[in-house]
Amino acid sequence: MNQTLIIVTPVFAIMACGWLFAHRQLISDAGINGIVNFIFYLAIPAVIFRTLASGSVQQQFSPSLLLAYYGAAIPHFLFCWWVSRRLFRQAVDTSSLAAMAGTFSNLVLIGLPLIQRAYGPAGLVPVMLIVMVHSPILFTLTTLGVTLGRSNGAAGGIGRIVWNSLRSVISNPIAAAALGGLVYGSLGLPFPSLLNDTLALLGEAAAPTSLFAVGATLAACKLGGDLIEAVVMAVLKVTVLPVLVWLLTRYVIDVPSGWSTILILSAAMPTGANAYVMARKYNCYTQRATAIVVLSTVISVFTLTALIALLPPL
């Protein structure tokens, strides 16, 4: 347990620094937005591209990895939708946004830094493969649910929704870096030392700035809406989803040795801010989505610490 605390304490301490800076108004909203842009457009893409461009990921790729994660995430999304719809009597579109908040993991800002610190570069490989299709899959499910709910079940435009969601991969800098790195690594092209050093330097800034940005962003979040539903969705996110992934990797799907640990931790990450972004886009569920992001992040301090201590190493 002492070793686990050594791993996780600095991670959450940097998040606390971000929260304190924003709470004390030592950094403005514009400053936070600038840091987030740096993370999404430069720092994280640099880490992802450099890792995948080496070609080692392609040699280790296994479809079972994605099947194990999304074989749990998609049913979990549907279960969260059912809980919101039946237990809390929400409309179809609202339940879809609740399902998004109960399933979408913060893999980029918290997952990558934490897993890299706990397991080194080898732990980043499965996370990056999950990240590549994370947004397209869950964004598409959410958009379909909201659209169908607001069109009284009409099926028109589903093809356009799916296509637009898949097309977003190209315009997303993180997904684009992943695809570019995979292609580069598959071609076996030499990696110039100058490019490698530049990306490595950018990548070193990714972890601390990401964690700082999460803490600073949380300082502006206010709990609101139906807190009972928010608590339920937050708990489902950080407990039930990782349990489903554990069951699949232990009893159903054979994944490369050690990668099951990374898959379970990825599933146990708190809700990502994209859940709030989607809710704001549709002008629905915004307060509860915000509360789920905050509550799941607070709860994950304890659940992630416990999982890192209990799960086998790579």
Residue 255 is encoded by which pair of tokens? 């994944």
Do the beta carbons of residue 100 and residue 94 sit within 8 Å?
no
Phi, psi for residue 106 in degrees, rounded to 5: -80, 75
Q: How confident is the model at residue 27 (pLDDT cuts 50, 70, 90)?
A: very high
Report pLDDT for 140: 83
**Mean pLDDT computed over every residue of the chain:** 87
Rounded Cα–Cα distance for residues 51 and 88 (Å): 43
Do the beta carbons of residue 234 and residue 299 sit within 8 Å?
yes
- Report which of 218, 233, 273, 248 is spatially closest to residue 106, judged by C-alpha positions: 273
Report pLDDT for 87: 93
Region for 120 from its dihedrals, namely left if φ exceeds 0, alpha if ψ lies in -120 to 50, beta otherwise: left
Q: Which of 90-94, 111-115, 123-127, 229-233 has the least mean pLDDT?
A: 123-127
Average pLDDT over residues 145-153: 74
Report pLDDT for 301: 92
Q: Which residue has the tokens 């457009």?
A: 41
- Report which of 129, 257, 115, 120 is spatially closest to residue 185, judged by C-alpha positions: 129
Q: What is the pLDDT of residues 270-279, one digit of tens each?
A: 999 889 888 8
Rounded Cα–Cα distance for residues 108 and 49 (Å): 14
The residues, ordered by sequence, that sit 6+ positions from 212 with a Cβ below 8 Å of its Cβ are 14, 15, 17, 18, 21, 35
Q: Amino acid identity, residue 314?
A: L
Q: Is the pLDDT of residue 241 over 60?
A: yes
Q: What is the pLDDT of residues 261-313, one digit of tens each?
A: 999 999 999 999 889 888 888 888 888 999 999 999 999 999 999 999 999 88
Q: Which residue has the tokens 């347990």?
A: 1
DSSP 85: I
Q: What is the pLDDT of residues 189-218, one digit of tens each?
A: 888 899 999 999 998 999 999 999 999 988
For 246-276, letters b (16+ CB in 10 Å) and e give bebbeeebebeeebbbbbbbbbbbbbbbbbb
List 112's β-bridge partners, or say none: none
- Report which of 244, 262, 254 is spatially closest to residue 125, judged by C-alpha positions: 262
Report pLDDT for 42: 92
For 64-85, letters b (16+ CB in 10 Å) and e give bbbebbbbbbeebbebbbebbb
Q: What is the pLDDT of residues 151-186, one digit of tens each?
A: 764 445 666 666 665 665 566 788 788 888 888 888
Residue percentage of the chain with pLDDT more than 70 = 90
Classify the C-alpha dihedral 118-69-165-294 as positive or negative. Answer: negative
Please tell me whether residue 208 adopts helix, strand or coil conformation.
helix
Q: What is the pLDDT of residues 52-102, one digit of tens each?
A: 887 766 667 778 999 999 999 999 999 999 999 999 999 988 999 999 999
Average pLDDT over residues 32-55: 88
Do the beta carbons of residue 139 and residue 165 sit within 8 Å?
yes
If residue 101 lies in a helix (H) or strand (E), which one and from where to where?
helix 92-101
Region for 157 from its dihedrals, namely left if φ exceeds 0, alpha if ψ lies in -120 to 50, beta otherwise: left
Rounded Cα–Cα distance for residues 29 and 22 (Å): 8
Please tell me whether residue 105 adopts helix, strand or coil conformation.
strand
Rounded Cα–Cα distance for residues 266 and 69 (Å): 9
